[in-house]
Amino acid sequence: GDGLLRVLRPGGAPRGRRPQALQALADAQRKVAPDVGSGCAHSFTFKDLLVATGYFNEGNFIGEGGFGKVYKGKISKTNSQMVAVKQLARESVQGRKEFLVEVLMLTVLSHPNLVSLVGFCAQGDERLLVYEYMPFGSLESHLFDVPHGKPPLDWNTRVKIAVGVAEGLSYLHNVADPPIIYRDMKAANILLDEDFSPKLSDFGLAKVGPVGDRTHVSTRVMGTYGYCAPDYVVSGKLTMKSDIYSFGVLLLELITGRRIYDASRPKPEQSLLTWSRPFMHDKRKFHRLADPALRGSYPPSALNQLVVISIMCLQDQPHVRPIMADVAIGLNHVASQPYASLASMGSPAYSGSPQYSRTPSRRRGGGGGSRRVSQYA
């Protein structure tokens, strides 16, 4: 509805006291409720979420992000549904802004490859978001720093994840009205269900895309180092093609098993884009981009196709990059020819007990440390 767009559009956020913003949220929800039916986010009391998380018991702690902590919980009001509860830091002004945006976004958006918002709490100074619980955690925890003895993600699973992420982005760009620019693509924000189907999460930085005769949205540059398109970094002009570039980075990470930036590697290999450039310029060297953990268990033709798609997405000039719908078509074509061999690495990785809440994750950049980084924060 128009009320929702006034809240979401750049420069259109309610000004003044926080209660005004919350009233805008409530008004927007009432406007969109008929369209989203039972999927409309539920408003929880703080006590509801205290009980759900065992009073934020450390045993239910999942991880921590820039704006707060995340806990596993069980909501008795929704048939004992397992959820992830993100409690925003009270002192985080940016976190509060992102809370409002995320609730609005996920209330009106619905797609199999977007994480579902079960509800929220805005009581007093407390701001909490309640998501569906994703048992296999983030793509980051399965793709990088895989514990010894655990099988890596196999080829078919990587392609499946790439397809799902592309489908989710295509929905945001081409189906959502007005279109949505995700703006926070990274492996840590891609959550995996028990079938390794991916879901985009963390919509706090998302923006309504340009409408009418506008070509871009002017905004302060935000996102994760290495994933942001160079044209966006330089100009502050955000477009759907900014997301395309970020997807190209993610796809390259899936192919190589390397982080976009890893300080633990030798200097020439710390930047994934710098290291990969010589191989991407010569088709005869594409195979050198493949994650060594795959041990050659991938179809060379499919690898070549994924590398080409990544190259197209990573073009410096935004107008040369493809649209997300075409990327999804290309990836679906690759997925329609799954890899199988006698030397197959077996079923999707981590087929046993998921290491959702206990697998240490290094800080971005490979600098070490064991603080768990939330998949939702």
Q: Which domains does the chain have, with CATH numbers?
A: 2-132 (3.30.200.20), 139-335 (1.10.510.10)
Q: How far apart are CA 309 and CA 270, in angstroms?
A: 23
Q: How far apart are CA 202 and CA 129, in angstroms?
A: 10
Measured from the Cβ of residue 285, the count of other Cβ atoms closer than 10 Å reads 13
Distances (CA, A) of 11 to 6, 111, 118, 219, 282: 9, 27, 27, 10, 45
pLDDT in 10s for each residue of the chain, 377 residues? 343 444 444 444 433 333 454 455 445 444 443 333 334 678 999 999 999 999 999 999 988 776 788 999 998 766 678 999 999 887 766 677 788 888 988 888 999 999 999 999 999 889 999 999 998 999 999 999 888 888 999 999 999 999 999 999 999 999 998 899 999 999 999 999 999 999 999 888 888 866 555 555 656 666 677 888 888 888 888 889 999 999 999 999 999 999 999 999 999 999 999 999 999 999 999 999 999 999 999 999 999 999 999 999 999 999 999 999 999 999 999 999 889 854 444 445 444 333 333 233 333 333 333 344 555 65
Q: What is the pTM of this model?
A: 0.80
pLDDT of the residue at 147? 84
Q: How far apart are CA 49 and CA 130, in angstroms?
A: 9
pLDDT of the residue at 341? 59
CA-based torsion, 172, 28, 96, 14: positive or negative = positive
SS (H, E, C) the chain: CHHHHHHHCCCCCCCCCHHHHHHHHHHHHHHHHHHHHHHCCEECCHHHHHHHCCCCCHHHEEEEECCEEEEEEEEHHHCCEEEEEEEECCCCHHHHHHHHHHHHHHHHCCCCCECCEEEEEEECCEEEEEEECCCCCEHHHHHCCCCCCCCCCCHHHHHHHHHHHHHHHHHHHHHCCCCEECCCCCHHHEEECCCCCEEECCCCCCEECCCCCCCCEECCCCCCCCCCCHHHHHHCEECHHHHHHHHHHHHHHHHHCCCCEECCCCHHHCEHHHHHHHHHCCHHHHHHHCCHHHCCCCCHHHHHHHHHHHHHHCCCCHHHCCCHHHHHHHHHHHHCCCCCCCCCCCCCCCCCCCCCCCCCCCCCECCCCCCCECCCC
* The two structure tokens encoding residue 247: 């997807």
- CA proximity to 156, closest of 288, 305, 344, 312: 344
* The two structure tokens encoding residue 205: 């930085």
Q: Which residues are catalytic?
A: 184
CA-based torsion, 163, 165, 170, 171: positive or negative = positive
Tell me: is residue 86 an annotated ligand-binding position: yes
SS (H, E, C) 16-52: CCHHHHHHHHHHHHHHHHHHHHHHCCEECCHHHHHHH
* Distant-in-sequence, close-in-space partners of 76: CB < 8 Å, separation ≥ 6: 51, 52
pLDDT of the residue at 315? 97
pLDDT of the residue at 100? 87
Bridge partners, 181 (sequence order): 207
Residue type, position 242, single letter = S
* The two structure tokens encoding residue 279: 């191989």
Cis amide bond preceding 135, omega within 30: no
**Cβ(277)–Cβ(354) below 8 Å:** no
